[in-house]
A and B are shown apart, each in its own frame.
Chain A
Amino acid sequence: MNNAVTPSGIRLELRKLFLKSEPVRGYTLLSPTLLAMILGLAMPLVVLFTLSFWLQEYLDFIRTFSLANYVEFFQKPIYVKLLLKSIRISGMVTIATVLLAYPMAYFIAFRVKSNKLIWLILITVPFWTSYLLRVFAWKIMLGYNGVINSGLKSLGFLTEPLAFLLYNPTSVVITLAHAWAAFAILPIYVSLEKIDRSLLEAGRDLGENAWMTFLRVTLPLSLPGVIAASLLVFIPTVGDYVTPSLVGGPRGIMIGNIIQSMFGQSQNWPMGAAISVMLMFTVAAMIGLFLWGTHSYRKRVA
């Protein structure tokens, strides 16, 4: 007799089905996270999109569908210009941070033998001091009577302090590259760590030099970490408005500052929402492009 007709049999069959169906198992595993995110994000997204199609008149919302905010976004040069500027600065930060972080992550993954956890924590500890204090610390480093200027002056290289060290896009890039260092090192380390050491030895046995092995094996295999690091640094810094206003000087304004002032002094929430939507779409498109690029690279290498 087929045991599928008995109740326990049905349960067994369902269980088998459950175990076999990948989508079901996948979504079951995903459900707690997804539910929490839906609970927290559905509303903000509705608010964001709805607001972006409304208009503001002094303190009131005009609640009729309108594309005026989006039209204004493209009509006034300031928004697109600042969006591009933000992307440029944040792109520079990402490249600098990831390039600087990679050798460090590599060092921890392959060179450090037994106390890796300590190294990971050592890299994170500086970032448990408040961000604001670190910004002030950078002002001490780069400032008018700061460490670099005082040092050069006392060594006799300078008579007047160098003013160009601080309050310009370069100081924004330096400060951000410092602030996000751990966010680049950790993902890269994590993906380097999983590389099978025998693959690297195989390369050496084939007579490759270290550089060839790196390009052929290590880099492609660590690419997921590099991608994660790039995203973790790029995305949050595009919308940052604190660093540019603290160390960027009078021209330090970025797209995040405009969004901020739309929700504050300008009292134009709908416009702020529309700018945010444009920012989100631009960033999403760039990520898509980036993932597509890295994906085809990995295919080519593999």
Chain B
Amino acid sequence: MNKDQLTEKLATGKMSRRQFNKALASLGATMVMMPMGSRMALGASGDHPTVFTWEGWEIPELHGDYIAKHGESPNFAIFADEEEAFAKMRAGFKVDITQPCTYKIPMWYDAGIIEPIDTSRLSNWSDITPSLKTIPGTVYGGKQYFIPTDWGQTSVLYRPDLAPEYVDNESWGILWDPKYKGRLSMSDSLVDGVMVAAIYSGAENPFDMTDAEMAKTRAALKEQLPLIRFYWDSPTEVEQALASGELVAGTTWNDSYATMKSEGHNVAYMSPKEGAMTWVCGFCIMTDHDPAKIDKIYDYIDAYMSVETGVYEITEYGYGHGNAKAFEQVDPEVLADLGFTSSNPDDMLGSGIFQVAMTNEAALQEMFDEVKAGY
């Protein structure tokens, strides 16, 4: 950056998003010499790429083909939520592959941290369920920035023995039923929490609300607050509480249903008349990836997209998988037990509301925090 440019930047007080890292650098530049030209190999060890993902998604069973080809697993760094992961990468942590969910992709794209993926290098791409390939916010300029591999639903898990009147009348409304005051729970998040309130309050498009709809959502959250036992941070908390009878109903992901059912608990998973939400997660290749490892990066993603991985993920985790053929390999009865209503993923995906990026996340978060603080 020459002096004139710098002056101009300072004068206008703005900079492009790509200069974010430079801005960070300038924070400490008075003390530390900026290293030039060297790739910051934070984290990467050996010849393998580093995958930044959720705990439990790094197990060898989910990338068998990669191990078969390269003899061992790649490196893994683990995050517990995407916000922390994003902050960590923005602060300088370099990885090769990440595994976020769709609603985060536009922001990551805007931040310039992900790059287009050459789907011709992925042998399993043609088997991916078509409706997953075109989720809004994952394709830019005809290029794929996201490979969908995992999906599931967000809906209400409830105790039919404690709330029998909802058995044939499944609705998000149970989370606003004063009868169950103090025995309801919702996710402490925007996408699985505040969006539920948006759907319940009748927003046309919950992910892109007008000011009037925002106000209605806020009112719904305020109305619900006294009824809520706690907002959950992890599936473990909400399942624990449903198991002990502390909760009558709570929002969960569909795997909670499968887990609790297999433990012999009397629970049911709703198909709310307002529509359940569908979440989709998958892979991004980071712009900071090590160019020398690009072949292995594609190998890893391709391995995760395989039918074998899909069958494992469906049967062991109760999640959907991007590979449509994986569903054909699973016994329909097993699928039904896991809460999948069809062996054709498109049937299920069509009935839900896809989780996409929320416009003005910051305002939504502020609203949610204010409601929790009593405003």
Contacts and interface: CB of A to CB of B under 8 A. Distances in A.
Contacts of B26: 63
Contact of A43 (B14, B31, B190, B372): B31
B183 to A, nearest CB: 8
A60 B18 CA distance: 9
Interface in B68-92: 81, 83-84, 86-87
Contacts of B83: 263-265
Interface stretch (A87-95, A119-127, A249-257, A290-298): A249-257
B23 A245 contact: no
A213 interface: no
Contacts of B231: 245, 250
A81 interface: yes
B292 interface: no
Interface residues of B, number: 50
A249 B13 contact: no
Nearest to B82: A264
Nearest to A43: B28
Contacts of A77: 375
A51 interface: yes
B369 A261 contact: yes
A228 to B, nearest CB: 32
B184 to A, nearest CB: 10
A264 B87 contact: yes
Contacts of A64: 10, 13
Contacts of A251: 225, 372-374
Interface in B25-41: 26-28, 30-32
Given A47-B27, A47-B28, A61-B23, A82 B10 contact: no
A170 interface: no
B20 interface: yes
Interface string B97-121: 0000000000100110000000000
Interface stretch (A4-12, A139-147, A194-202): A139-147
A265 B231 CA distance: 16
B241 A258 contact: no
A253 B373 contact: yes
Given A59-B17, A60-B17, A264-B83, A145 B369 contact: no
A248 B374 CA distance: 14
Secondary structure call for the A interface = mixed
A253 B365 contact: no
B284 interface: no
B133 interface: no
Number of contact residues on A: which range applies? 35 or more
A212 interface: no
B228 interface: yes
Contact of A59 (B111, B225, B244, B365): B111
A257 B17 contact: no
B230 A60 contact: no
Interface in B213-255: 225, 228-231, 233, 237, 240-241, 244-246
Nearest to B361: A265
A46 B31 contact: yes
B211 interface: no
B20 A267 contact: no
Interface in B1-23: 9-10, 13-17, 19-20, 23
A282 interface: no
A81 B374 CA distance: 10
A140 to B, nearest CB: 9
B337 interface: no
Given A47-B27, A167-B230, A246-B237, A63 B10 contact: yes
Which 8 pairs of residues, A with B, have the shortest CB-CB distance?
A264-B83, A144-B246, A64-B13, A250-B228, A253-B372, A265-B365, A266-B365, A145-B244
Given A250-B230, A264-B84, 11 more contacts: A63-B10, A63-B15, A77-B375, A144-B245, A144-B246, A252-B230, A263-B83, A264-B86, A264-B87, A266-B366, A267-B362
29 contacts: A43-B28, A46-B30, A47-B27, A58-B110, A59-B20, A59-B110, A59-B111, A61-B20, A61-B23, A63-B23, A78-B373, A78-B375, A82-B373, A143-B241, A163-B182, A163-B229, A245-B233, A249-B228, A250-B228, A250-B230, A251-B374, A253-B369, A263-B83, A264-B81, A264-B86, A264-B87, A265-B362, A266-B366, A268-B362
Interface of A: 42-43, 46-47, 50-51, 57-64, 77-78, 81-82, 136, 139, 143-145, 163, 167, 245-246, 248-253, 257-258, 261, 263-268
